[in-house]
Amino acid sequence: MADAFDRRLYRFDLLDEWANHLAAVKNRSPKSIYQYRSDVMNFIRHYALEAGDIDSRKSIPETDFSFIDRDYLNRIKLRDIYAYQAYLLSEEGLKSSTIARRASALSSFFSFLYEKLALIDENPCQKLELPKRNRQLPRYLHLEEAEALLSTVLRSAEESKSAIDYRDYTILILFLNCGLRLAELCQIDLRDIKEERVTVIGKGHKERVVHLNQACLDAIELYIPYREQLKKNPKQKALFISRQGNRLAHSSVQRMVKIRLERAGLDSNKLSPHKLRHTCATLLYQYGKVDIRTLQGILGHESVQTTQIYTHISDEQLEEAVKKNPLASFQMTDSPSSEDE
């Protein structure tokens, strides 16, 4: 669907060349490239509308952007990009994080035109400052909530002896113990599990090895016999399969997590598979005393800056830290007296 939409929507060659560069050299995923192209196209449309070069009554798919060429892109200056950011903030009401992402896409696009193709005289984004992002603490399950979620699903599995229940329990165990991404979990094949490790393909098609603790190993061992009940095709390689015997889809896992959270009495509106990844990272940092570099490796982050969002400190940790101050036991020898009269 995205490919068909692209052919209608993006109709100037330089954008296609940049997209090819992102795929071939930067190893960006199709989903990421689609988003980057959309970000650039939204700016181009806004600029062209402000300049009176396109009909404002037409939507993007109805507009012919074939006039976008080297000379046209050379007209774009840094002030135009700042004006666009101001528009996104005041008129569209977008968050600073969204505006920063769009600015990053524009910076990449114009850098490609300037440095790789030498098609523009100057890079308008060379001195572009990205909006300061408002860092928010990631939503996650507290330890007691995570235990309640797992206990609810396991209890259901033990009572029903259902393959679906054991499958869902194993999925949740892997999310909460390994910090897997949704796409990574759905891609796991049986052959990817060797001894106490599982090989997953992360962002940018990067392969990494994830270590399995005893809870994960026990859950997988328990689930495998029940998996045979779901398997319709003897050649099915996926670890997690649906009632129909197919590889479990991302949407199915998202739906399952929502249902399981609700049954455990937890807020399913603010939690998702990715929030379970947040939970794993937070619990590792708070209880496992895992340093940030190790946590970076576990989560498969390219930059340690991404990992730093998980190093937030709870109120309990702050209180405990204050209590451990060496001066916490200091006491006055005499009680305070009133001022001399």
User: CA 319, CA 328: separation in Å to the nearest integer?
Assistant: 12
Is 247 noted as a catalytic residue in this protein? no
pLDDT score for 57: 77
Residue pair 275/267 in contact (Cβ under 8 Å)? The answer is: no
Distance CA 21, CA 23 (A): 5
* Whole-number pLDDT of residue 236: 95
Considering 28, 37, 181, 278, which one is annotated as catalytic? 181
Q: Is 205 a catalytic residue?
A: no
Distance, C-alpha 114 to centroid of its chain: 30
State yes or no: is 275 an active-site residue.
no
Q: What is the pTM of this model?
A: 0.64
pLDDT of residue 133: 64
Half-sphere exposure of 248 (CA within 13 A, CB side): 26
Q: Which residue stretches of 96-180 are H helix?
A: 96-111, 143-160, 163-178
Summarised one tens digit per residue, pLDDT across range 3-46 is 433 444 445 788 889 999 998 888 888 888 889 999 999 999 99
The Cα 232–Cα 180 span in angstroms is: 26
**Catalytic option among 45, 101, 167, 301:** 301
Which residue is catalytic, options 21, 274, 275, 312? 274
Catalytic member of 203, 247, 258, 275:
203
Task: Please confirm, yes or no, whether 310 is among the known catalytic residues.
Answer: yes
Rg, Å, the chain Cα set: 26
Whether the per-residue pLDDT at 75 is higher than 70: the answer is yes
Q: How far apart are the first and last CA of the chain?
A: 86
| Residue 221 confidence (pLDDT) above 80 | yes
Please state, in angstroms and rounded to a whole number, the distance separating the CA atoms of residues 182 and 189: 14
Catalytic residue at 181? yes
- CA-closest candidate to residue 286, choices 266, 314, 260: 314
Contact 106, 125 (CB under 8 A): yes
In terms of average pLDDT, the best of 9-18, 264-273, 326-335 is: 264-273
26 is catalytic: no
